[in-house]
């Protein structure tokens, strides 16, 4: 799939690099002559925005689109006949796409960031391991949210532009565009109790050393709780949604 249209692969990488570069230059300009703001150095902020762009490319969640497309076209009836777990099939598909993104988008952007913006690995190996664990849990949370949203197709058939709006809202609330520590304290206190912060900000904060190893372990524990809760919600909502399927004819 990824190598079928080479121009699309190359143009996508170029566009992502342009967006990444623009984000880095924006934060450098925002900091100006100030080396530190809100307890975050300009170097940490550069690493933060680079990682945010890398994770946005790496996180592949097409489950919502696949569910909506199959419901709209009527192919969902064929999915029920298959001797497999439907949501597990969608999850495996997204993992495959994620591997493609890793090879053809993530790695070129990572190399570019290291060459031109001094992007480096964390200071210690333990932080790198915690980062990978946190990214995996963050992906599970994001995938479940998209899966639940996709299941609404069984009621409204066509999601329309709501799906795109949902993606931007999630990225905003998760600290992908602007870290939540730049938000007013009252808003931070509310967002800290929601699962979105654990999709982007938690793994990135671990990587750049914004939080201590003990705080990182605590945050990963909260991520695990949210991942389990979201999986349970997805499973329950899936059963309710599948009862809406009506097949007419022989």
Total domains, the chain: 1
CA angle 25–19–13, rounded 5-degree value:
135
Domain presence at residue 139: yes
232 CB-near residues (< 8 Å, 6+ apart): none
Domain presence at residue 248: no
Instruction: Identify the CA nearest to 176 among candidates 154, 199, 153.
Output: 199
**CA 201 centroid distance within chain:** 10
**pLDDT over 70 percentage in the chain:** 95
Domain presence at residue 195: yes
Distance (Å) of CA 78 to CA 84, 93, 192, 201 = 11, 17, 41, 39
Q: Is the pLDDT of residue 250 over 70?
A: no
Domain presence at residue 249: no
Range list of β-strands (E), 82-186: none
Domain presence at residue 175: yes
Domain span at residue 167 reads 8-242
Distance (Å) of CA 142 to CA 45, 122, 159 = 23, 24, 18
Residue 87 tokens read as 């949501």
Domain presence at residue 180: yes
Domain presence at residue 1: no
Domain presence at residue 3: no
pLDDT of res. 247: 53
Distance (Å) of CA 139 to CA 6, 132, 191, 238 = 27, 11, 18, 19
pLDDT in tens, 54-112: 999 889 888 988 888 888 877 777 777 778 788 888 999 899 888 888 888 899 999 99
pLDDT in tens, 114-157: 999 989 888 788 999 999 999 999 999 999 999 999 888 888 87
Distance (Å) of CA 32 to CA 25, 36, 39, 42, 78 = 10, 10, 15, 9, 57
Lowest-pLDDT choice from 56-70, 158-172, 236-250: 236-250
**Confidence category of residue 7, pLDDT binned at 50, 70, 90:** confident
């Amino acid at each position: 799939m990824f190598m079928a249209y080479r121009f699309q692969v190359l143009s996508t990488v170029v566009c992502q690099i342009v967006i990444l570069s623009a984000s880095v230059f924006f934060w450098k300009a925002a900091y100006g002559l100030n080396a530190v703001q809100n307890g975050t150095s300009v170097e940490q902020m550069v690493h933060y925005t680079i990682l945010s762009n890398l994770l946005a490319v790496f996180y592949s969640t097409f489950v919502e689109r696949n569910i909506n497309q199959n419901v709209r076209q009527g192919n969902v009836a064929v999915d029920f006949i298959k001797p497999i777990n439907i949501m597990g099939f969608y999850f495996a598909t997204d993992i495959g796409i994620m591997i493609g993104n890793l090879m053809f988008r993530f790695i070129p952007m990572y190399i570019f960031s290291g060459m031109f913006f001094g992007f480096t690995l964390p200071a210690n190996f333990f932080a790198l391991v915690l980062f990978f664990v946190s990214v995996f849990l963050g992906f599970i949370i994001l995938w479940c949210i998209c899966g639940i949203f996709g299941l609404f197709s069984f009621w409204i058939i066509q999601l329309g532009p709501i799906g795109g709006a949902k993606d931007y809202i999630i990225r905003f609330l998760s600290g992908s565009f602007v870290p939540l520590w730049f938000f007013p304290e009252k808003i931070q206190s509310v967002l800290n109790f929601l699962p979105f912060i654990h999709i982007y900000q938690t793994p990135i904060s671990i990587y750049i050393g914004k939080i201590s190893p003990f705080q990182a372990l605590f945050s990963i524990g909260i991520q695990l709780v949210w991942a389990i809760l979201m999986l349970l919600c997805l499973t329950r909502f899936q059963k309710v949604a599948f009862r809406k399927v009506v097949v007419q004819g022989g």
